[in-house]
A and B are shown apart, each in its own frame.
Chain A
Amino acid sequence: MARMSSIRSRSAARLAITYLTAVLLGAFLSLPLLWIVLTSFKPTAQLLTSPPTWIFSPTLEHFDAVFARPEFWRALVNTAIVTVSTTFVTLSVGTMAAYGMARDRAGGAPLLYTTLAIRALPPIVLGLPLFVVFTRTGLIDTLPGLTVAYTAFMLPNTIWLMLGFFQSVPKSLEEAALVDGCTRFGAFLRIALPLARPGLVVTGFYNAVGAWNHFFFGLTLSTADARTLPVYAAQLIGEYSIRWGEVSAIGAILVMPPIVLVILMQRHLAGGLTLGGVKG
């Protein structure tokens, strides 16, 4: 009896700590965004008062102003296209490479170090040479060009992430499948990938959000046609004034798709993984 109640109180304690942590973190992490969303509904005159205005009559004027401009819609479409293509390319190329590196040590230490070294260069450094290369190949201000740049930027991280996830997945299942006559690639597709699904989800989410919000290469390598939303938002920062209302509105709009993605992602990150074949 004593043992049952100690287990029960343990559960209760765990639940309490869980809630406390989750709520505190949730509040701290989301407060600034809530402030942005609040600001996007404030009338211009009350945007930045001292002390801050909490009670105001909400207005849609900033959103109207944002939606009224065709450049906004263009930037939205551009960003969507680049995000989808980048995520797709980066995830496929990166996952395959990570698998090769995890299972076969393909490329060995040199490849690992190379991905690190590339990862280590701040984008600022790449700005000038990439501009030169892209100018000569005609990729400046094009969506495929941006996809290429984003992919190169995010590939090392993707490889590293999936590497970690693949290494956490035991080889035994794949080896068993090979003995049963499966091809190496088949083992990858049918066993390793599904087992590493949480990792795929996380990495895919990271890539998608990273591409959606990416700023630097979008800024440097596009001039007009291929402009993305974050760069468009930055344009609202004038020399003397920042159009706070509109920037906040765009910030609020920009956050929507990632939030949708998170909700979709929830299902795949449930605690505990059970796949019949893994015996305790």
Chain B
Amino acid sequence: MSLKRRTLLGAGTAVALALAAPGLAQAELANVTIWVQSGPEAEALGEVAKAYTDSTGNPVTISPQGRAGWRQRYETALAAGSTEFDGVLHISRFVPALAAGGLIAPYDDYIAGAAEYDADDFPEIIQSEMKYDGTWYMMPTDITLETLVYRTDLIPEAPETWDDLRENALKFTQSHNPDSPTKYGFAYAGSPGNVMAAFLGIMGGHGGDFLDGESCVTTDSPEVTAAWKMFVDMKNEDKVTPPDINAWDYPELLVGLQNGTLAQAQFFTAGMPILNDCAQSPDVCENLALVAQPEGPMGSKTRVNPLGVMMNAQSPNKDALWAFLEFATGKEGALIYSEAGGQSPRSSVLANEEIAAGRPWVPEVLKASKAGMGTLRIAESREVAEAFDRYAQQAIAGQITPEESLIKAAEEMRAILGGC
């Protein structure tokens, strides 16, 4: 071949390769983007992503997003058919609505095809939280519980029943006991959208629930009414909570625990590391412990709040996302994740002694994973929750009686669900 022809051939091949390269690159190295709220989960997932990329060469981008309007933002993106992200990490509460709307994609086929994934390593309640209508829609990365945090220097033994808790609260509220070192004996996040989470423990302890099975509304049942009355009375009758508790969100709770205002509080396990860190909470780091929800007449029920990654139904990189998630939530990745600051719900990880050391919530998590309370698993879950929240807020503010608020909430829930 003449020199000219060889040059042409070489140039032509180079051009062809250059044009084909993106396609080739895409086949192997599809960049997966996962949106995560900024915080410990984002950092831990970043570690796992690093390990994954190191071993497979596939790039993964963990994109931390702020809390402001978080859910609204990713919902808007999903609703608009955006492909800005392939996966999004959030709590399981929103899975039913998103799945029912076809905004997130199912994982069943992927799990079935992954021989070594061992989905049954996740406790039953976690599995049900990840599903809608029997299909997996979220891969679990974390488990957190709504537990009771209390001051061990003031309360040597964890309160066993709700009556115990109430007694402690009375003893450690300054308006009842001027010698109390803490101003209020009990607190929770009472701001709009948060009351339900704080209430679930006592409701379950009294044997109540919002729905029975998945169809009939039982919000105004005697059990729920008894629990709700006790809960609301702690603020309005006993006055053991801050009077402005309906404006408290988790940051206020954290500050209240850190600066010694509170003796007991409903708090999520994920926030414990900050409380136990003496650099951030010097006054109380040695004196705070957590325990699963106290018992009511029907035992102790702790609300389980797992987090996981949902798959964008419009994502063009579904296979690549699954490849990463198979690793990240598989046995190996879950361990890396937990070591980096997360808390995987895999039974194998929870049983791991190295992980458990220094994490006082692990025994509670094990307990709760056997007797925990999940979130509503119906497509209308959010509307139902919003209806309850609205009347709950009025009851807490003292505008209507607890009983009245439940009756009104139940009425609205029945209208939404169109049933009994």
Contact = CB atoms under 8 A, between A and B. Distances in A.
A and B touch in the complex (CB under 8 A): yes
Given A131-B80, A140-B82, A220-B76, A238 B67 contact: yes
B222 interface: no
A183 interface: no
Contact of B73 (A215, A219, A238, A241): A219
Contact of B68 (A131, A132, A234): A234
B265 to A, nearest CB: 12
Interface stretch (B23-31, B251-259, B324-332): B251-259
Interface stretch (A28-36, A42-50, A87-95, A109-117): A42-50
Size category of the A interface is 20 to 34
Interface stretch (B45-53, B267-275, B407-415): B267-275
A219 B254 contact: no
A231 B77 CA distance: 17
Contacts of A127: 72, 76
A218 to B, nearest CB: 10
Given A236-B66, A239-B39, A50 B251 contact: no
A239 B90 CA distance: 11
Nearest to A45: B282
A240 B65 contact: no
A234 B67 contact: yes
Contacts of B72: 127
A239 B255 contact: no
A50 B261 contact: yes
A128 interface: yes
B81 interface: yes
A224 interface: yes
A242 B280 CA distance: 12
A224 B64 CA distance: 8
A240 B66 contact: no
Contacts of B107: none
Considering residues A132, A219, A239, A242, which has the most beta carbons from chain B within 10 angstroms of its beta carbon?
A239
B29 to A, nearest CB: 19
B82 A235 contact: no
> Which of A223, A232, A240, A241 has most chain B Cβ within 10 Å?
A240
A224 B261 CA distance: 38
Interface in A45-60: 45, 48-50
For B68, B261, B268, which residue has the most chain A Cβ atoms within 10 angstroms?
A: B68
B231 to A, nearest CB: 22
Given A223-B65, A234-B68, A48 B39 contact: no
A236 B64 CA distance: 11
A237 B259 contact: no
Interface string A208-246: 000000010001100110000001101111111110000
A237 B68 contact: yes
A236 B65 CA distance: 10
Interface string A73-115: 0000000000000000000000000000000000000000000
A223 B84 contact: yes
B134 interface: no
A135 interface: yes
B152 to A, nearest CB: 20
A131 B314 CA distance: 15
B80 A128 contact: yes
Contacts of A232: 66
Given A135-B81, A231-B66, A238 B259 contact: no
B63 interface: yes
B274 A241 contact: yes
A49 B66 contact: no
Contacts of B37: 238-239
A140 to B, nearest CB: 6
A48 B259 contact: yes
A274 B250 CA distance: 57
A239 B68 CA distance: 10
Contacts of A44: 279-280
B82 A135 contact: yes
Contact of A238 (B39, B84, B85): B39
A219 B69 contact: yes
Given A45-B282, A240-B251, A131 B270 contact: no
B260 to A, nearest CB: 8
Chain B CB count within 10 A is highest, among A45, A127, A215, A220, for: A45
A59 to B, nearest CB: 13
Contacts of B258: 48
Interface string A137-156: 00011000000000000000
Contacts of A241: 250-251, 254, 271, 274
Given A237-B68, A242-B251, 9 more contacts: A128-B76, A128-B79, A128-B80, A132-B81, A135-B83, A235-B65, A239-B67, A240-B251, A240-B253
Interface of B: 35, 37-39, 63-69, 72-73, 76-77, 79-85, 183, 250-251, 253-255, 258-259, 261, 268, 270-271, 274, 279-280, 282-283
27 contacts: A44-B279, A50-B183, A50-B259, A128-B76, A128-B79, A131-B76, A131-B82, A132-B80, A140-B84, A219-B68, A219-B73, A220-B76, A223-B35, A223-B84, A223-B85, A231-B68, A232-B66, A234-B66, A234-B68, A235-B38, A238-B39, A238-B67, A239-B250, A240-B39, A240-B271, A240-B274, A241-B274
User: Which are the 10 A-B pairs with shortest beta-carbon distances?
Assistant: A235-B66, A240-B271, A234-B68, A234-B66, A238-B39, A132-B80, A240-B250, A131-B80, A242-B251, A237-B67
